[in-house]
């Protein structure tokens, strides 16, 4: 497929339904939350440590109320086609952090459109008292690592399979409008979904080429920030690149009361 800006891409389901229960797919999930006015919304996110979920700041912070949204629930490996929506329970948020640059700019989406939620531990069915990441595993992250990369975008877009099934997009990243953009058929609901370099299960014998800057496996380098459609063409997706502000909020998240990192 080719997007409105001539970005080649492929958007498909992740594969057989049960594959989302396996690492690294199980790290990705659907995030539900509520506004002060009672509105209910959903985004996407991914585990990046045993209690930490990365998502978009606009899925966490309500500019109208100048405060966080509420009642966050994260469903790793969500599958709305099954009676059990997730094999790894649902998780409430204990805390959250977004860059102050995002809260100070009411343009809603911008280069600081990322954040971290800390999930509460819980007694999860047959697993006992655990943290979410102990069940799902987690992805790595790298800042300043997006432009010129080839990534996998994962999420739960409402325009595909009614947002009930995890989707993935493969695309090269292009610098445009001072952000990283890809071609993608993923629309609303995929916000906050991770853009991951070297995602998947890698065969033995892979040899790194070049300076090694893009060799880290299963590494989040951005999150889905926005998307737009040009007439009847496929969507263009833009990302918030993990930058110096990300490194700052990561350090703060690691210093929360829980031993997160």
Task: Give residue 231's pLDDT.
Answer: 45
| Alpha carbon separation from 168 to 146, 151, 221 (Å, rounded) | 17, 10, 15
Helix (H) or strand (E) holding 103: helix 100-103
**26-139+245-254 is a CATH 2.40.10.10 domain:** yes
Task: Give residue 108's pLDDT.
Answer: 66
Render pLDDT for 162-206 as a digit per residue (tens, 0 to 9).
999 999 999 999 988 778 889 899 989 999 999 999 998 888 887
Say yes or no to pLDDT of 34 above 90: yes
| Eight-state DSSP code of residue 198 | T
Interval 1-25 mean pLDDT = 86
| Alpha carbon separation from 106 to 61, 66, 221 (Å, rounded) | 10, 9, 24
Tokens 């809260």 found at = 103
Task: Give residue 209's pLDDT.
Answer: 63
- What are the extents of the domains in the chain? 9-18+140-243, 26-139+245-254
What tokens appear for 120 in the block? 């509460």
Render pLDDT for 210-239 as a digit per residue (tens, 0 to 9).
666 678 899 999 999 987 655 445 567 778
Task: Give residue 229's pLDDT.
Answer: 59
| Eight-state DSSP code of residue 234 | B
**Burial of 210 from C-beta contacts in 10 A (0-12 / 13-18 / 19+):** exposed
Tokens 């099934």 found at = 165
CATH domain 9-18+140-243 topology: Thrombin, subunit H (2.40.10)
Task: Give residue 4's pLDDT.
Answer: 67
26-30, 99-103, 144-148, 159-163: which range is least confident on average?
A: 144-148
What tokens appear for 26 in the block? 């199980």
Render pLDDT for 76-130 as a digit per residue (tens, 0 to 9).
999 999 888 999 999 999 999 999 999 998 776 778 999 999 999 999 888 899 9
What tokens appear for 58 in the block? 């606009």
Residues near 63 by beta carbon (within 8 Å), at least 6 away in sequence: 103, 106, 108
Reduce the secondary structure of 90-121 to three states and give it as a string. Answer: CEEEEEEECCHHHHCCCCCCCCCCCEEEEECC
Cis previous bond, 24, omega within 30: yes
Interval 2-13 mean pLDDT = 82
Q: Do domains 9-18+140-243 and 26-139+245-254 have the same CATH topology?
A: yes
């Amino acid at each position: 497929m080719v997007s409105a800006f001539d970005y080649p891409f492929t958007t498909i389901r992740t594969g057989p339904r049960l594959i989302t229960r396996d690492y690294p797919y199980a790290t990705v999930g659907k995030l539900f939350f509520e506004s002060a006015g009672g509105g209910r919304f959903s985004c996407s996110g991914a585990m990046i440590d045993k209690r930490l979920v990365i998502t978009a700041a606009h899925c966490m912070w309500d500019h109208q109320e100048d405060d966080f949204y509420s009642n966050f629930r994260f469903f790793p490996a969500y599958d709305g086609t099954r009676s059990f929506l997730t094999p790894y329970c649902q998780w409430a948020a204990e805390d959250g952090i977004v860059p102050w640059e995002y809260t100070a700019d009411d343009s809603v989406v911008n280069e600081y459109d990322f954040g971290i939620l800390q999930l509460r531990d819980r007694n999860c069915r047959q697993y006992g008292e655990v943290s979410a990441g102990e069940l799902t595993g987690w992805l790595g992250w790298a800042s300043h690592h997006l432009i010129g990369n080839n990534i996998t975008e994962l999420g739960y877009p409402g325009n595909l399979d009614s947002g009930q099934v995890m989707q993935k997009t493969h695309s090269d990243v292009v610098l445009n409008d001072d952000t990283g953009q890809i071609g993608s058929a993923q629309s609303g609901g995929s916000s906050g979904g991770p853009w991951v370099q070297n995602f998947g299960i890698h065969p033995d014998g892979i040899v790194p080429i070049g300076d090694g800057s893009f060799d880290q496996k299963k590494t989040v380098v951005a999150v889905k920030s926005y998307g737009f459609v040009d007439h009847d063409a496929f969507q263009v997706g833009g990302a918030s690149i993990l930058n110096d502000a990300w490194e700052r909020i990561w350090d703060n998240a690691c210093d929360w009361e829980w031993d997160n990192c």
